[in-house]
Structure 1
Amino acid sequence: MQKDQLFTRRRMLFAGAAALGTAGSAGSLLAACTEESAQTAAAPAPGPQARQALKSSAFRLQPLTGDGPPRAAPHKLKVRREPILQISGRGRHMMLTFDDGPNPDYTPHILDTLAKYGVRAMFFLCGECVVDNRELVARMAEEGHVVGNHTWTHPLLTTLSRKQIRSEMVRTSDIIEDTYGERPQWFRAPYGAWNRATFQLEAELGMEPMAWTVDTTDWMTPGTGTIVDRVEKGAAPGVVVLSHDAGGDRSQTVHAIREWLPHLIDSGYHLTVPSRRV
């Protein structure tokens, strides 16, 4: 758990710096997402009737484009100026994402819940966590989840040199390919902090930058009920939900998903992942 506690301390230190490190207009878009989370947290918890009809989000940000993990030999992609924050498509589709894992104490429970309801999700993995939990990554592949790159040590990339950023990405993609069977096509910067070098390098390595629309802030351990309310209030077509399956005590996340996932499904939402290239 020492490593998880370190993740939490890092996140507390760098949360404010993340928005400053994001390149171009992506910084303002991510700030808008953070603002929405803060407003949601301040709102009173909804009663049973309020949960019957989930309100649409005010955010209609840049839609997600592209497919899933690339072929064994990734090709260079267009360099973006901002990360993707929303998925495209018609209907009540949403996407669930989990960062910082895998973790043997929490990831299996989340996978069990997803399997119970036949839902696939995206997991952004840290290479150093994959080393001791390869069986969980293999399970993700077997159950149809999409795996992304979340660097090797979860650093604040805006403080690193170009060479260091590339090493964090390449080492993680290598171990994911060795374990998952494919190199990741998706990358999420720790703390949501992108810069020009990060966008350039991930494009060179065949990865698209994926951010989020709704932040559960589960890393702050705000309580199971608060996490549930943030997901349900933020639910809307195209939304990408950010949660964590490692980086600290994630028992609240484990309990919360058991409540909000069946509610989203009962409300008519379809939980999806990017399709894979063939």
Structure 2
Amino acid sequence: MSSASLAEVAAPVVRLKTRSIVFDVFGSYIRYKGGAVAIGDMASILSWFGVTEDATRVTMSRMRREGWFTSRRHGRNSYYELSDRAWTLLQQGRRRIFDRNRDAWRGEWHILLLKHDANTAVERERTRRELAWRGYVPLAASTWIGARDETDGLRETLVEGVHLQGFAARTPFSQDDREFAAQHWDLGELVDDYRSFLRRYESLATEATLATLSDEEVLVRRTVITHEYRMFPFRDPDLPSDLLPNDWPGYEAHGLFLHIVEALKDRSWAAFDRVCDRPTPASNRTDASLTVA
């Protein structure tokens, strides 16, 4: 594939950063093969996205230094393997993306009080993104609120030096809850973006469209839509239906996403397996509970 391939298979064009492609490929494929990949195989897959081999090696090396991977040699090949931190991120991320919450709401808001030790700006931003990913919104610099209690997962992933205290609160009337949600989350913009997502991808999984694509192009398309959809949980708090506008399009968008990912799965895996068919060295991490996405 040429460097223009991504533009050819994604409409409108979604420009992915190399590290985003790496996370998506590990999350959608490599994690189900033991979590390790030869650097040469990774470079081959990323070439379908127009990424050069040098850029792949630089990105993988940088992500290893950041703690996302470990690396080792096996014979003549160098392998990159998911770290424990990366395994946790991918497993929690998969639940947030694929298993949107449909539980009945108990009518309780969950309020978090945060105390920071001497964190850097980078660590504070990481904390902010983690809280937003889990459906919280700030009321003040160290006070966040969400519709569900996510403290157990937060304690696993927040940087060292961030201390949490949580408690539940109720409003007197259910209408107050819906108004509160509309004031603190930009649900109107999400409605527009979900509808745009539906318009762009509603015809992607048709047989007529797929017949024009190679297996490699199918994998690229599947990666692009996965990347685009996984951006929604950073903005969509996954509120209970009691708090959402009528005719909320997020449910339909999630259903379409799941349908397309499933429709493109077999041919995407065929492309992946043709490249990553060599046996990987025994992994230090196995997870029999994983279901292939």
Structure with the bigger RCO (C-alpha within 8 Å, sep 6+) is: 1
Higher alpha-carbon Rg: 2
Greater share of helix? 2
- Provide TM-score, normalisation by structure 2: 0.24
